[in-house]
Amino acid sequence: MNKIFLNLGKQPLANSFLSSNSKKKQSKEFFYNLKVAFNTKNFLVSVANPVNPKFQYTDKYAHRASESITMKNAFAKTANKLSKKFSPKIVMEIGSNDGVFIKNFDRKKVIAIEPCKNLAKLTKNKYRTYPNFWTKSLAEKIFKKSKKADIIFSANTISHIPDLKQTFEAIELSLSFNGVLVIEDPSLMSVIGNNSYDQFYDEHVYVFSAIAISNVIKKANLRLFDAEKIETHGGSMRYYICKNNAKYRTTNKLKKILKEEKEKKLHHFKTYKDFSKKVKKSKIDLVKIFKRLKKENKKVISYGATYKSSTVFNYCNIGTNYIEYVTDTTINKQGKFTPGKHIPIISPDKGINKSVDYAFLGAWNFKKEILKKEKSFIKQGGRFITHVPSAKIISS
């Protein structure tokens, strides 16, 4: 049974940046009520009313994984690690984005799945790319012609797909006998620990725990045999999954993670009720900071037009009343307006300068990279605001 524990209010699609903030454009904006639920049977945490993926993963999809040095390096390291560990002959990626992961492999080995047509275009000339959603019929079509996959990799994608049953069944029929599915997604343990409620938005239909994943995949004759904590996206988990009869033994690392999740009571509804109280407090504290800075006539901007910050701004009702503009390095976000709150987005070259007093860390998951990059902003007296793990001005 699904029990709702968190209501993040009226939210737009997190990637629906507006090309103009005209009244006409605003009136066409789609909103839904973002509620988050806990399944008392399999312990899965999910958005209670997911949006149809066809509205989300279009040919205008903005996110480019290669644009962050942190992510680029992380994917290269992972590709290298998986190559060494499993010596795959066929590597398939579900949600290949701009090719940031697959480009670390010999092109003959690679199968890429990417439903956003603008992104699939970027890899299709070099790599076998299917511009489709991941379904059983696509899996059947691909593996009629190809040898089965020794590695199926999917980062920040499986948690975006509402139909997990079909997703894992399609994976099961695509894996070679000892093939391994490696998935990376934000970790529920980190979300609860960091109070990072902004990991919930329309695309993050699920925020997984190892406990929930191991339950959900059982029905598709798959099993979890290893997991590791990784730093990306503010605390993620990498899961290693194989067919029931494959050769892999459950690792001690996984046993430890499952134990830790149980100690943190990720399988108890009360944990989520408590989390929800903390989220409400986070909103009050963050708005207090913005109100005070406004009173003091400070110039406040936001750093990184992230999907996560769309949840924060719409939940906390933070718009141009507090934030002058948002800076983002992504060229196709620049010149647009944030979903729901319509804050203008400009390039960091134009927006980060001496006149700025405070910058809200929309991309708090890149805090280390950003603080390193923005040394001169900090030296000039600029300060960052964050809401993770609690709302505060970061002292440097």
Give residues in contact with ligand TYD (CB under 6 A).
63, 67-68, 304-308, 327-330, 333, 348, 363, 365-366, 369-370, 373
By Cβ distance, which residue is nearest to ligand TYD?
A: 304
d(C-alpha 210, C-alpha 391), whole Å: 28
Percentages of the chain per state (helix, strand, coil), in multiples of 5: 40, 25, 35
Contacts of 274 (CB under 8 A, 6+ apart): none
Query: Of the two residues 204 and 342, which places its CB atom closer to ligand TYD in the complex?
Result: 204
Structure tokens at 117: 């047509």
63 or 103, CB closer to ligand TYD?
A: 63
Q: Which is nearer to ligand TYD, 123 or 327 (CB)?
A: 327
- Give 364's DSSP letter: G
Q: How far is the CB of 210 from ligand TYD (least distance, A)?
A: 22
- Least separation in angstroms between residue 309's CB and ligand TYD is 7
CB of 100 vs ligand TYD, minimal distance in Å = 12
Residue ranges of E strands in 40-115: 45-47, 91-94, 110-113
Least distance between ligand TYD and beta carbon 230 (Å): 14
Q: How far apart are CA 206 and CA 350, in angstroms?
A: 36
Q: Is the previous residue joined to 131 through a cis bond, with omega within 30 degrees of 0?
A: no
Backbone angles phi, psi at 200, to 5 degrees: -95, 115
A 10 A CB-CB count for 89 gives: 14
Half-sphere exposure of 18 (CA within 13 A, CB side): 21
* Nearer to ligand TYD among residue 142 and residue 363 (C-beta): 363
At residue 293, φ and ψ (nearest 5 deg) are -65, -35
Name the one residue in this structure whose structure tokens are 């290949």.
96
In whole angstroms, give the CA distance from residue 172 to residue 182.
13
Nearer to ligand TYD, 57 or 307 (CB): 307
Q: Kindly state the smallest distance separating residue 69's Cβ from ligand TYD, in Å.
A: 7
Contact 111, 90 (CB under 8 A): yes
Q: Following CA atoms 318, 323, 327, 332 in sequence, which dihedral angle do they give, to the nearest 10 degrees? A: 60
- Minimum distance from residue 146 beta carbon to ligand TYD (Å): 31
Instruction: Let me know: does 131 contact 77? Beta carbons within 8 Å.
Output: no
Nearest distance, CB of residue 221 and ligand TYD, angstroms = 32
Measured from the CB atom, the residue of 67 and 274 that comes closer to ligand TYD is 67
Coil, helix or strand at residue 12: strand
Residue closer to ligand TYD by CB (options 193, 265) is: 193
User: Is 33 in contact with 354 (CB distance < 8 Å)?
Assistant: no
Q: What is the closest distance, in whole angstroms, from the C-beta atom of residue 363 to ligand TYD in the complex? A: 4
Across 66-85, b (16+ Cβ under 10 Å) vs e yields eebeebbebbeebbeebbee
Q: Quick one: 203 or 261, whose CB is closer to ligand TYD? A: 203
CB of 254 to ligand TYD, least distance (A): 26
264 vs 383, beta carbon nearer ligand TYD: 383
